[in-house]
Chain A
Amino acid sequence: NAGVTQTPKFQVLKTGQSMTLQCAQDMNHEYMSWYRQDPGMGLRLIHYSVGAGITDQGEVPNGYNVSRSTTEDFPLRLLSAAPSQTSVYFCASRKTSVAYNEQFFGPGTRLTVL
């Protein structure tokens, strides 16, 4: 199993550009989520999905869109990049939405918005 994979590893954008961060998992997990990690802030939840076709907002959803057309994939779209979105983005998955399932993280995408 590859686990949770993310692409790209690094990305530089100009303000106003859009892009999609890819996330995939091969563990047949129902629950997938996106976090951003900023210095001194810990991991903050952007969006999550409890299964194909179902998504919801987390703590910091503004400026981001998600969709979940398959169990495996959960892309995160930046609609119009802003410098405030410079961060490290982690995708994570777990078997179901219940909080006691172990959660697995992808390797992260480091995004810089100029």
Chain B
Amino acid sequence: ILNVEQSPQSLHVQEGDSTNFTCSFPSSNFYALHWYRWETAKSPEALFVMTLNGDEKKKGRISATLNTKEGYSYLYIKGSQPEDSATYLCAFGGGTSYGKLTFGQGTILTVHP
């Protein structure tokens, strides 16, 4: 079983704060790293799919970086808004399971007005 860890488990920030969280994954046999945003009572929605070491992706105020050699990815949110409150999931594709995605437990972000 592949080990995909996310930290912190939860985070409370004030509106306007910038924040970041981490996804750690195996550094060997890497194929892809997915980030999802998951709002309560909805389904996970893809934010980014990252494939190359050094990749940086951006969507509005959210960005992500990838380091496959050391096995981590950071997700950044600039100027957090209450509507950013959600669980952020990462999923690792690789190892011996070519197509399967292994999910981390998620980081629960709460942005207070």
Task: Give the shortest distance, in Å, between B89 (CB) and chain A (any CB).
Answer: 7
Interface residues of B in 49-108 (CB under 8 A from A): 49, 51, 89, 91, 93-94, 98-106
For chain A, the bracket of interface size reads 20 to 34
Report whether A107 and B43 are in contact in the complex, using a CB–CB cutoff of 8 Å.
Answer: yes
Report whether B43 and A100 are in contact in the complex, using a CB–CB cutoff of 8 Å.
Answer: no
Given contacts A43-B89, A107-B42, A107-B43, contact A100 B100 (CB under 8 A): no
Task: Give the shortest distance, in Å, between B113 (CB) and chain A (any CB).
Answer: 27
Report whether A42 and B43 are in contact in the complex, using a CB–CB cutoff of 8 Å.
Answer: no
Given contacts A102-B49, A103-B46, contact A42 B89 (CB under 8 A): yes
Task: Give the shortest distance, in Å, between A1 (CB) and chain B (any CB).
Answer: 15
B32 at the interface (CB under 8 A from A): yes
Give Cα A50–Cα B98 distance, bound, in whole angstroms: 11
For chain B, the bracket of interface size reads 20 to 34
Report whether A99 and B101 are in contact in the complex, using a CB–CB cutoff of 8 Å.
Answer: yes
Report whether A42 and B93 are in contact in the complex, using a CB–CB cutoff of 8 Å.
Answer: no
Report whether B42 and A99 are in contact in the complex, using a CB–CB cutoff of 8 Å.
Answer: no
B105 to chain A: which residues have CB within 8 Å? 40-42
A75 at the interface (CB under 8 A from B): no
Chain A residue nearest to B46 (CB atoms) is A102
Task: Give the shortest distance, in Å, between A3 (CB) and chain B (any CB).
Answer: 9
Task: Give the shortest distance, in Å, between A90 (CB) and chain B (any CB).
Answer: 6
Given contacts A97-B98, A100-B93, contact A43 B103 (CB under 8 A): yes
B44 at the interface (CB under 8 A from A): yes
A31 at the interface (CB under 8 A from B): yes
Report whether B46 and A104 are in contact in the complex, using a CB–CB cutoff of 8 Å.
Answer: yes
Report whether A100 and B31 are in contact in the complex, using a CB–CB cutoff of 8 Å.
Answer: yes
28 chain-A/chain-B pairs, Cβ below 8 angstroms: A4-B43, A35-B103, A40-B105, A41-B105, A42-B89, A42-B103, A42-B104, A45-B100, A45-B101, A50-B99, A90-B43, A97-B99, A98-B31, A98-B32, A98-B99, A99-B93, A99-B98, A99-B100, A99-B101, A100-B31, A101-B49, A102-B49, A103-B46, A103-B101, A104-B46, A107-B42, A107-B43, A108-B43
Chain A interface residues (CB < 8 Å from chain B)? 4, 31, 35, 40-45, 48, 50, 58-59, 90, 97-108
